[in-house]
Chain A
Amino acid sequence: MRRFELVLPGSLDECVKALAQAPADSKLLAGGTDLLPQLKNGLLKPACVIDLSGIPRLRSIEAGNGQGLRVGSAVTARTLELDRAVRANYLSLAESGALVGSVQVRNLATLGGNICNAAPSADMAPPLLALDAEAVITGPKGERRVPIAAFFTGVRRTVLAPDELLVELAIPNPGSHSGGSYLRHTPRRELDIAVVGVASQLTLANGRCAKARIALAAVAPVPVRATAAEQALEGQAVTPDLIKRAADLAVEAARPISDQRGSADFRRHLVRVLTRRTLTTALARAGA
């Protein structure tokens, strides 16, 4: 690892100032589970690293305006896994948090780090897409909000400007007749990266699907929604046959590559399997 200057701001304001003054290649440090390996392997060689651990606001989970949830960017995967409010209404997000790394990794890994690192395989991204979350961003020009689906611009690229940081994620409450589920496939049970991840969220009204969200990880440069599959479900009574059709349609949203984690063929196969399974679980949870 190369030498770098470490800045430890004590508040959000100090952090914004530090960012504005720091060289353009500076990096923010949350849990460091993505950043440190990148530094160690020489993929990044920033002259300055700004540590977010001194900013308590980034670590809070609060009831949002209306009845949603505001999750600070530095909330850990382990917290999401265990938090009651998250588990009650945003179960797919808790499930995705529970799958990250190992317990040791989850105690460090943050939601914001996962999103800002913008790996196509980021586990916590699909649930955020399926829950229609918004990214709350701040910088020298003040705060702005970006729908999570528009947050990712490419592999390891986001809408964040070099002088901006992610403050929190605002997640609307999907309501009591809604259920979600996140599943991923990895060859190893723990400490592995998704070959494919699928989050589904179904909201029911009068026995029909009022709203469907299906989001896929690791099948495109950014996490994507399977909109054709969602449309096939909306307004319909959700039957096993319809779920099967939706799963087939979800495959069309995938633009996978072949790499060391899996072939494009296998990824398409997994999208079908995992969409079917997450929809089935989401349906059961929405009805319960």
Chain B
Amino acid sequence: MSTVMKTTRDVKGIGLSIPRPDGPDKVTGQVQYVADLNPRGLLHAKLLRSPHAHAKIVRIDVSRARALPGVRAVLTAADIPVLKKKAPTRAHAVLAIDRVVFAGQPVAAVAADEPAIAEEALDLIDVQYEVLPVAADPLESMKPGAPPVAELGTEADTSEAQAHGSVAGVTTEVKSSKAVNISQQARLQRGDVAKAFAESDVVIENTYRVPMVHQGYLEPHAVLAQWDTAGNLTLWASTQGSFNTRSEVADVLELPENRIKVIPMECGGGFGGKIRALCEPITAVLARATNRPVRYVMTRREELEAGMPAPQVIIKLKTGVKRDGTLMALEAEAILESGAFSGAVLAVAGVFLASLYLWPHFDVKGFEVLTHKPSIAAYRAPVAPQTIFAIDSQMEQIARKLGVDPVEFRLRHLQREGDKMANNQPWLSNGGVEVLTRLAEHPFWKKRAEWKASAKDGKLRGTGLSLGGWLGGLQPTGATVRLNPDGTLQVLTGQVDIAGTNIALAQIAATAYGVDIDKVKITTGDTDVAPLTGLSAGSKTTYTVGVAVMQAAQNARNQTLEIAAKELEASVHDLEIDGDRVVVRGVPDKGVTLASIGKKGNLYMSKVEPVLGASHPAFSVQAPAFCGQLARIEVDPDTGEVTLHNFVVVQDVGKAINPAQIEGQMQGGAVQSLGMALTEALMYDDKARLTNPSLLDYRKLTAADLPNIETIIVEKPAPHGPFGARGVGEPPIVPAPAAIANAIEDATGVRLTHLPLSPERIALAIASAS
């Protein structure tokens, strides 16, 4: 589909770093988010949340809260007949019915004239809990006899995996018999692992641990709900997929989908955390109960305590190689802690562990384990940073042990197009080799010995790199392109722009149609008017919606040329678009303006059909995308503090539609990756209560912690991507944890396997090693 467009001249479109049009409004505070909407009669919602991670609700008394002046509704599960005990997803568990399964779970909801009144009402609700034993640790929780998390008979939820559409051919088994909290199991096997280990010369075993981390979008979850008298619900939502929100809310509230209109508002970040419905159903219920518009905006504390973070991942990894570097066997057990509701992308973990480098013999077991913690969701390349941390750390250690160049060692075993993944699907065209090769050419890598030797004042210096990636998601989508009466173009999709994708789509439309970008306007429509489309997730917006827009624009172009052909009495094949006119090739003064074609499509009594290009493709071919990162660091061995001196990101983007936007993604992803590497962790006590529910103690990196992040774009065209483009959003969050762990070992000789690579872990490891 990487078609070359035939135009007389280069249009201003693909390949240019055009600033996104919403930028100035965002940085000057003009953009309206959900929290800025103030319809007449607006009420404010607040939720009473459980202080206990596991408890029976004995009694709830809301009478005092209802009596508070300014309170318009106080609801418990008993007031919402559609709620069912066996909630299959977090969205269905609108309010706890008779048992809470994580600290922060909503048990009652209030709508009031002011937020402060709603909060005071929460204080007046009496809940009597009977505290139950807690499953706080996944390794304990997966044992038989652990306190049960889900209601018996609840199905595992694999829709997240499907939403990300990344891995085919892995059989995930749902539920085992005795261990009540194991909600999914998967196994990938090839060859004879025992024999291969017996023939190995170097066997390395490690347990890697990555804690739950929060996506950290700037705008918390927020929604405004309003019903009309005919029983139609409108939701103004901060979501990564308005159609998905619509489906989930319809399912939870048992409403027909066409009765719900989701208006996707400007989304202040999602990173996977705003894929699933969370506070939309309860806000809709409150709006109906009060017959007023109701807005709910989560606080930061609620986000951290009761958002939908990434799972904790524990990977026991054993590898065997020959002395000459031949890979022999890999054995792994990956445990994904999903919190109170199932939903982890278990198969991704297995495939990344065993397929990135080619192990002839492997046995990978995956377990999704439930605990009494908030349930998880996707986070930018879900589970890839965690699994790559394990496998890349392992590859580095093997190379060091064998005394071989770590890049050559990786390149020797790295998958190539056509190689068999662990799920027996072939690897598709990708730039893994090109990315790693380019990174290894960087002077920071070549001069790593000099960097190490330059350490002074008791500090230590090191360099580390890592390669990671993402398989790329797919989902059907649609787009329309209209020609306006003045010759401008109108592009419509339902795709939420969470990453600056609309400017890339406009560039694609401009190039495919054959006009300059300034002639194109792109609109994100609501669920009543836009073509059905998927989530803005899985690094697939440009890759899939870009194709729809490209085809719709080509379609509109063809319609335009056909109308012009009649007008000019010429063959379509002899026509081209030049500026704002369609002209006969070689006869530049024989032409007709786009405006006149557009006008005729909208004239009273006109027989010219209006130009309306449309496309609604489905897809079957993914485009894996790889990212390599390199860190040059200094370590204070006494305090364990790591100073990042330089950071390099190399990424294969297929074709850079808008290089500046892509560099922004590469840098933003790198920052999140570094946060996971160095400081971030949701920390729970043994009662599964969060001990760091603020951004002071849940440490995202700040600008003061970060070095210049150098970005290098590699372009290996994706055969099916629009103009060869691949997804770019997710790959850059993957490599930093391993790159930093490798750099720390280079600097200090200490190998760390638990994230975050905190000063405490580093300093105490150095102290106990010396």
Among A45, A195, A260, the residue within 8 A (CB) of B692 is: A260
Interface flags for B114-140 (1: CB within 8 Å of A; 0: not) read 011101100100000000000000000
The answer to whether residues A270 and B702 also contact, given A187-B759, A260-B692 and a CB cut-off of 8 A, is no
List the B side residues contacting A266 at CB < 8 Å. Answer: 760, 763-764
Q: Are A273 and B119 in contact, CB atoms less than 8 angstroms apart?
A: no
Stretch with Cβ within 8 A of A (4 or more), from B91-99, B621-629, B661-669, B693-701: B693-701
Point out the residues of chain B lying under 8 angstroms from A190, CB to CB: 702, 704-705
| Nearest residue, chain A, Cβ from B299 | A40
Chain A residues contacting B767 (CB-CB under 8 Å) are 269
Which of A1, A2, A45, A193 gathers the greatest number of chain B CB atoms within 10 Å?
A2
- Residues of B670-697 at the interface with A, using a CB-CB cut-off of 8 Å, are 678-679, 683, 691-692, 694-697
Query: CB distance A189 to B697 under 8 Å?
Result: no
Give every chain B residue within 8 A of A259 (Cβ-Cβ).
691
- Once the chains bind, are A191 and B679 in contact (CB under 8 Å)? no
Q: How far is the CB of A101 from chain B (nearest CB, A)?
A: 9
In the complex, the answer to whether B705 meets A188 with C-beta atoms within 8 Å is yes
What CA separation (Å) do A260 and B697 show in the bound complex? 8
Question: A269 near B763 (CB under 8 angstroms)?
Answer: yes
Please give the distance in Å from B252's CB to the nearest CB on chain A. 29
Known: A191-B702, A262-B760. A273 touches B638 (CB 8 A): yes
Residues of A in contact with B, size category: 20 to 34
- Which of B116, B641, B697 meets A185, CB within 8 Å? B641
Contact among A1, A185, A189, A270 for B119, CB-based, below 8 A: A1
Q: Contact check: which of A1, A37, A263 meets B116 at CB < 8 Å?
A: A1
Q: In the complex, which residue of chain A has the Cβ closest to the Cβ of B120?
A: A2
Instruction: Check A261 against B697 for contact (C-beta < 8 Å).
Output: yes
Most chain B beta-carbon neighbours within 10 Å: one of A188, A193, A260: A188
Q: Does chain B have a CB within 8 A of A3? A: yes
Interface centre among A185, A187, A189 (most CB of B within 10 A): A187
Contact call A273/B699, Cβ cutoff below 8 A: no
Give the residues in chain A near B119, CB-CB below 8 Å.
1-2, 42
**Is B639 an interface position by the 8 A CB rule?**
yes
Judge whether B646 is part of the interface by a CB distance below 8 angstroms.
no
Instruction: With a 10 A CB-CB cut-off, give which of A190, A265, A266 has the most chain B CB atoms.
Output: A266
Known: A40-B299, A193-B697. A3 touches B679 (CB 8 A): no
Q: Is A192's beta carbon under 8 Å from chain B?
A: yes
Of B639, B678, B701, B767, the most chain A CB neighbours within 10 A belong to: B639
Q: Which residues of A contact B704 (CB under 8 A)?
A: 188-191
- Chain B nearest CB from A102 CB (Å) reads 8
- Write out, one digit per residue, whether chain A residues 63-81 have a CB within 8 A of any chain B CB (1) or not (0): 0000000000000000000
Bound Cα distance from A108 to B683, whole angstroms:
29
What chain B residues lie within 8 Å of A269 (beta carbons)? 763-764, 767
Task: Provide the bound-state CA to CA distance between A262 and B678, in Å.
Answer: 14
Q: B437 — which chain A residues lie within 8 A by C-beta? A: none
A206 within 8 A of B: no
Asked if residues B120 and A3 are in contact (CB atoms below 8 Å), the reply is yes
User: B195 at interface (Cβ–Cβ under 8 A)?
Assistant: no
In the complex, which residues of chain A have a beta carbon less than 8 angstroms from the beta carbon of B446?
none
B442 at the interface (CB under 8 A from A): no
Interface assignment of B86: CB less than 8 Å from any CB of chain A: no
B301 within 8 A of A: yes
Q: Report Cα–Cα, A155/B121, bound state, in Å.
A: 30
Q: Is B758 an interface residue (CB 8 A)?
A: yes
A193 to B696, CA, bound (A): 7
Within 8 A of B (CB), among A165-212: 185, 187-193, 195
- Would you call B116 and A3 a contact (CB within 8 A)? yes
Q: Which residue of B lies closest to A276 (CB)?
A: B638
Kindly supply a per-residue 1/0 record for chain A positions 131-150, scoring 1 wherever the CB is within 8 Å of any chain B CB and 0 otherwise. 00000000000000000000
Complex alpha-carbon distance, A262 and B683, angstroms: 12
Nearest CB on A from B214, distance (A): 14
Q: How far is the CB of B701 from chain A (nearest CB, A)?
A: 7
From A3, A40, A185, A193, contact of B759 by CB (8 A): A185
Instruction: Output the least CB separation between A46 and chain B (Å).
Output: 13
Q: Is A187's CB under 8 angstroms from B702's CB?
A: no
- Per-residue CB contact flags for chain A residues 215-235 toward chain B (1 = under 8 Å, else 0) read 000000000000000000000
Q: Mark B616-639, 1 if CB is under 8 A from A, else 0.
A: 000000000000000000000011
Contact with A along B60-74 (1 / 0, CB 8 A): 000000000000000
A187 and B679 contacting across the interface, CB-CB below 8 Å: yes
Interface residues of B in 171-199 (CB under 8 A from A): none
Give complex CA distance A187, B692 in Å. Answer: 14
Q: For residue A42, which residues in chain B have a CB less than 8 angstroms away from its CB? A: 119, 123
| Docked-complex contact B702 and A188, CB < 8 angstroms | yes
A21 within 8 A of partner (CB): no
- What 10 new A-B contacts, CB under 8 Å, besides A40-B299, A42-B119, A260-B691? A3-B116, A3-B120, A185-B759, A187-B679, A188-B701, A189-B704, A190-B705, A191-B696, A263-B760, A266-B764
Residues on A lying within 8 angstroms of B by beta carbon are 1-3, 37, 40-42, 45, 102, 185, 187-193, 195, 259-263, 265-266, 269-270, 273
Q: Can you list 30 A-B contacts with CB-CB less than 8 angstroms, sorted by A residue number?
A: A1-B119, A2-B119, A2-B120, A2-B123, A3-B120, A37-B694, A40-B299, A41-B301, A42-B119, A42-B123, A185-B639, A187-B699, A187-B758, A187-B760, A188-B699, A188-B701, A188-B702, A189-B702, A189-B705, A190-B702, A190-B705, A191-B695, A195-B760, A260-B692, A263-B760, A266-B764, A269-B763, A269-B767, A270-B639, A273-B639
